[in-house]
Amino acid sequence: MCLLLVATSAASQDLDPRAYVHVPIGLTVGTAGINSSSGGVLTDPTLPVENVEPAVLTLSVGVARSFRLFGRTAQALAALPYSWARVTGDIADQAQRVDRSGLSDMRLRLSWLFAGAPAMTPQQFAIAPRRPILGASITVGAPSGQYYPERFVNLGTNRWSFKPEMALSYPVRERWLVDVYGGWWLFESNRSFYPGTALRTQTPIGTVQGHISYSLSLKAWAAFDATWYGGGQVSVNDLPTGHRESNSRVGGTLVFPLANRHAIKVAWSRGAVIRSGADFTTFSAAWQAAWLDRRRAPQP
């Protein structure tokens, strides 16, 4: 059962610098990326599962769009991943290997910058000063991933998850930006847990992120990233399993332009302090393309 914790840990370890940066309304961004994660999963010592090591390769496509919401800047995002996973481990002292491929859970996100980021056209945005920003978002994990109730290892979680989050984005001088986010992952119950008739529940996981980024040029920037997440007590049929997350991660992000509308984003992260849960090293690279609706007329 502990092998299914891989998907939960992957959601909790997100590192996303400049997620609440001010942009003009009418901006559409398309993304295609690849993500590679590998490492180990710390399991409950009372269970006959040891040396669990997953390796997951994920391709994803996504699109984001900025718009006006109550006079402020908002953004909607949708991303759909497809994964290949290989999990190895020892069960009752017997080496086992499992391979999976298919869709993972879709991610949807709505953010709203309610202070410091009024909705602006591209023309207005070009001459606007940088200001501190307060924002909020709700991220939804939809159960679109491949899931077989009779199997230990799955790419999907067979449940909805939600993360409300608050954020502060604070510019320092001309080139520096400091981001701080705090939120909670909330989980719906999985009523078809292994072997298909069990009820799996999980308490919320608290998350905190911090990012310090530096603008190398008008369209290129680099960031140092850190996060901590904890909580998430798991129960099966109302019996606690002993699993609880308590992890921190550090990483870095680099974005550089290819042309007027195109850019490449590369990122790396790894576990820093692992007390319980999963210790992953993650590499990712993504191509991004942006389009501005320059015909949008200014509104009062």
> Any residues with CB less than 8 A from the CB of 51 and at least 6 apart, and which?
40, 88, 89, 90
Strand partners for 79: 62, 107
**Burial 255-284, CB ≥16 within 10 A → b, else e:** beeeeeeebebebbbebeebebbbbbebeb
Three-state DSSP class for residue 162: strand
* 137 touches 175 (CB < 8 A): no
**pTM for the structure as a whole:** 0.88
Which one-letter DSSP state was computed for residue 210?
Answer: E
The highest-confidence range among 117-121, 125-129, 259-263, 294-298, by mean pLDDT, is: 117-121
Question: pLDDT for 151-205, tens place per residue?
Answer: 877 888 999 999 999 999 999 988 999 999 999 999 999 999 888 899 999 999 9
For residue 163, count other CB atoms closer than 10 A to its CB. 22
92 Rama class: left (phi>0) / alpha (psi -120 to 50) / beta: left
Domains of the chain, each with CATH number or no CATH: 2-292 (2.40.128.130)
